[in-house]
Amino acid sequence: MVQAKCWVMTKHFDGFPKTSDFELKEEELPEPKDGGKTLWLYFFSLLDLNRFRVKEGDVMIGTQVAKVIQSRNPAFPVGSHVVSNSGWRTHTVSDGTGLTPILPEWPKDVSLSLALGTIGMPGLTAVYGIEEVLGLQKGETLLVNAAAGAVGSVVGQIAKIKGCKVVGSAGTDAKVAYLRELGFDEVFNYKTVGSLEEALRKASPEGYDCFFENVGGSFSTVALQQMKNFGRIAVCGSISVYNDSTPQTGPYPHLTMILKQLKMEGFMQSRWEHKHPETLKRLLAWVKEGKLHYREHVTKGFENMPAAFMGMLQGENIGKAVVAV
């Protein structure tokens, strides 16, 4: 019998989450049945969309890299590693649903935590936003916000690989310095520039062909006005509105979109699930070739999950925010 711990959301977040909204519970897990396996949490990925998908009393949702510690399924031998959507749990009994084995060619000197970041869901999101939604072309200018985050930092680097000019915005000077290290052409701290409009115009006076949107809200309103005619916008995230108790209202984008004849498309990376294996291999190759760099913001200890989650929502992380257990 395995003793597991899990984090439950006891109260739906009212605005920004609080420590008292979470409770650490213990549960005894049964032995795995035929074909089943028990997983043990290794690294955990912090995601910001939980508030929309979790009900009071539910275990918090999220993805983890886990090690198989008991197995009655030869496809998942003891000691192998998987990516699993098991939520905020130390141990899980799984029938195999939703498990993705780590790429067999995963190098020993690359941390498995990258399977939650640059060579995982955030990396896939960056590739599909750029290639499938924006159709970014060599020589074009791309704007990305939350640029030092898990998705944004990959977006900017892939756009550079494709021969584009990249402008990125982030919320601290340390993040801005990191983006310069990554080779972004123009970067600024959106919290300290006097005028976002001026900062965007200065970074690219001729405007933007493509905008990889992670933030939404008022940033979006200003950025849309800086697009070139026929500009394309990939709406990946809207982190500036996730914790609002009262939905934000206007200004509305329609007039700008009509006059500039813009194309805006929301997307979820899961739309291209059939391409994941090939795309993960490409991301791994870029990392191995030194073309794709990464940083991670690692919090240690399962007991620190809520604090790490709240820190991520406040923008503490450079690169992917993970918890190591």
Ligand X SMILES: NC(=O)c1ccc[n+]([C@@H]2O[C@H](COP(=O)([O-])OP(=O)(O)OC[C@H]3O[C@@H](n4cnc5c(N)ncnc54)[C@H](OP(=O)(O)O)[C@@H]3O)[C@@H](O)[C@H]2O)c1
Closest separation in Å from C-beta 154 to ligand X = 8
In three-state form (DSSP H/G/I as H, E/B as E, the rest C), the secondary structure along 239-291 is CCCCCCCCCCCCCCCHHHHHHHCCEEEECCHHHHHHHHHHHHHHHHHHHHCCC
311 sits near ligand X (criterion: CB under 6 A): no
Q: Least distance from C-beta 247 to ligand X, angstroms?
A: 14
Instruction: From 17-25, 68-76, 141-149, 302-310, give the range in contact with ligand X by CB under 6 A.
Output: 141-149
88: Cβ–Cβ under 8 A, 6 or more apart, which residues? 6, 7, 44, 59, 60, 61, 62, 305
Q: Cα–Cα distance between 72 and 298 in angstroms, integer? A: 32
Is residue 48 within 8 A of residue 59, CB to CB? The reply is no
Out of 17, 62, 87, 171, name the contact with ligand X by CB under 6 A: 171
Q: Is 176 in the site for ligand X (CB under 6 A)?
A: no
Instruction: State which of residues 215, 223, 227, 305 lies at the interface with ligand X (CB under 6 A).
Output: 215
Minimum distance from CB of 220 to ligand X (Å)? 10
Query: Which of 160, 175, 232, 295 lies at the binding interface for ligand X (CB under 6 A)?
Result: 175
Cβ distance to ligand X smaller for residue 9 or 144? 144
Q: Is 268 in the site for ligand X (CB under 6 A)?
A: yes
Torsion of CA 30, 41, 282, 235, to 10 degrees: 100
Max intra-chain CA distance, the chain: 64
Q: Cα(197)–Cα(68) distance, rounded to whole angstroms? A: 51
**Looking at 5-13, 79-87, 135-143, 232-240, which segment touches ligand X (CB under 6 A)?**
232-240
Written as one letter, the residue type at 47 is: L
126 near ligand X, judged by CB under 6 A: no
Closest to ligand X by CB, 141 or 269 = 269
Nearer to ligand X, 46 or 227 (CB): 46
Residue nearest to ligand X (CB): 237
Q: Identify the DSSP state of 15.
A: S
Q: Which of 36, 207, 311, 315 binds ligand X (CB under 6 A)?
A: 315
3-state secondary structure of 123: helix
Q: Does 157 bind ligand X (CB under 6 A)?
A: no
Is residue 70 within 8 A of residue 38, CB to CB? The reply is yes
Q: Which stretch binds ligand X (CB under 6 A): 91-99, 177-185, 267-275, 287-295?
A: 267-275
Strand-pair partners of 109: none
Number of residues that bind ligand X (CB under 6 A): 29
114 contributes a contact to ligand X by CB under 6 A: no
For residues 26 and 54, the answer to whether their CB atoms sit within 8 Å is: no
Q: What is the CA radius of gyration of the chain?
A: 20
Residues of the shown chain interacting with ligand X in the complex, contacts defined by CB under 6 A: 48-49, 122, 125, 146, 148-152, 170-172, 175, 214-215, 236-240, 267-269, 312, 315, 317, 320-321
